Amino acid sequence: MTGSREVITGGDFKRMVSGAYSEFLLEYETINALSGAGTLAGTHILRTMGAAVMPLADAKDDSIGGLSRRVATGAVFGARGNAGVVLAQMFRGISAGLSGKYDATGSEFGKAFQYGILYAQRVIPEEPERPFIVIAKAVAKGAYHAVRDGMPIVEILLKAIHAGEASVAELGLTEAGAQIMLSFLRGCLKGLDGNFVSPAVSLSLGLGTHKNMPDPRNDRVRPYCVRLRVKNSKASLPELERQMRDFSSFSIVERSSGGLDIHLHTDHVGKTLEQAIGWGPLKEVKITNMSEAHVLPAHDALMNVAALAVAKDSVEAQKLQDAGASILVSGSEESSPSLAEIIGAAHSDLASSYVLVASSPDYRLVFRQAKRLLGGRVELVLADTFERTVAALKKFSPALTAAENAKVMSAGI
């Protein structure tokens, strides 16, 4: 297939994404070595990619638009560290460009890829000259000319890679962001050609990784929040919770007047509803994609406002709790908390509003994404050390609103 007649299928897209994951398996340690002090961008990218590829393992949809949306949702919700957030936004842009399409022409896919570059650029605030942006602009320019000339997708990717490599050579860049962009493109090209560099990830044969590498199964996300009421149900609460455990990461079942109120997070909405039909008549079913901007509903919250912070171990956890944190998420420089963990904690119904306290510069885009998705009921305090996080938390007051707390706590650091 050549020129504008080329068709990119959902199967092609699967191979491209798994090829990119395979390439990051080979390159993540190199990217770590290029990362700045206090971060492991390669590990964060690899784990974000793990969250992105997992939905493809059992996807029933063959359309390129549907598959790209599933990948984008997994990547956005499973994003770790600043690098992971940027990569996830690239997938989000690609998905926006392929929305509603069963197949895509080479030109359509090339334009979607340009959307991806644009979305990735937008997420990096106030730093237009960062190396990632410089390379992204060069790559976008190379892809633009190839798309305009009606080249097939292989040629579009090659032109993008050559433009990026030329920019790296011209500017003498040795930075993680540039390596991430080029590794992503090379992986997509290898995947499209079926030329996987070992260790390959084949979605048709099952996912697997080499020893000591992050296993993508550990990064599976459950991005759909399902709330529903079952009328007049006589079902046993422990039995319902046992049934839901297999396809949810968080679930609450409570008896209320005339039935059961159920709240869970899942990646299988259809399976959830199919199970629930057997429990009794369903009412007030609400499904929320938590990787997109949404209103966080107040649901019998125990507190007016709560502070959330990140702890790497039990010692830090105790110090943060003593300082005023009510919710703790596990994370460190080596293992940044994912957006899913932050959003999931806020969906726990502990409080009506939240102050999220970031203790590392590499958490900042993750926390900003949480604010973007959850809106006005979440405020941010962006500290850059554990000590400053503790100092900020000591100024937290349950008598103040989230916005008032954020102002006072930020002033303290």
Task: Using a cut of 0.85, tell me whether the model's pTM lies above it.
Answer: yes
Instruction: State the pLDDT at residue 201.
Output: 45
Q: Which residues pair with 303 in a beta bridge?
A: 351
What whole-number distance in Å separates Cα of residue 23 and Cα of residue 200? Answer: 8
What whole-number distance in Å separates Cα of residue 200 and Cα of residue 216? Answer: 13
pLDDT digits (tens, 9 = 90+) for 3-19: 456 899 999 999 999 99
Instruction: State the pLDDT at residue 208.
Output: 47
Instruction: State the pLDDT at residue 211.
Output: 52
pLDDT for residue 233 is more than 80 = no
pLDDT digits (tens, 9 = 90+) for 38-94: 788 999 999 999 999 999 888 888 999 999 999 999 999 999 999 999 999 999 999
Q: What are the residues whose beta carbons fall under 8 Å from the beta carbon of 384, sequence distance 6 or more?
A: 359, 360, 361
What whole-number distance in Å separates Cα of residue 396 and Cα of residue 392? Answer: 7
pLDDT digits (tens, 9 = 90+) for 255-300: 887 788 888 899 989 888 988 888 889 988 999 999 999 887 666 6
Q: Which residues pair with 393 in a beta bridge?
A: none
CA dihedral of 142, 144, 149, 154, whole degrees rounded to 10: 60
Q: Is 255 helix (H, G, I), strand (E, B) or coil?
A: strand
Q: What share of the chain is helix, strand, coil (3-state, %, to 5)?
A: 55, 15, 30
pLDDT tier for residue 128 given thresholds of 50, 70 and 90: low
What are the structural domains of the chain? 3-201 (1.25.40.340), 224-289 (3.30.70.3100), 303-411 (3.40.50.510)
**Pairing verdict, β 327-330 and 303-311:** parallel
What whole-number distance in Å separates Cα of residue 396 and Cα of residue 305? Answer: 10
pLDDT for residue 173 is more than 80 = no
Task: Write the DSSP string, 358-398.
Answer: E-SGGGHHHHHHHHHHHGGGEEEEE-SSHHHHHHHHTT--T
Instruction: State the pLDDT at residue 253.
Output: 85
Q: Is 304 helix (H, G, I), strand (E, B) or coil?
A: strand
Mean confidence (pLDDT) of the chain = 87
Q: What value does the mean pLDDT take over residues 211-217?
A: 72
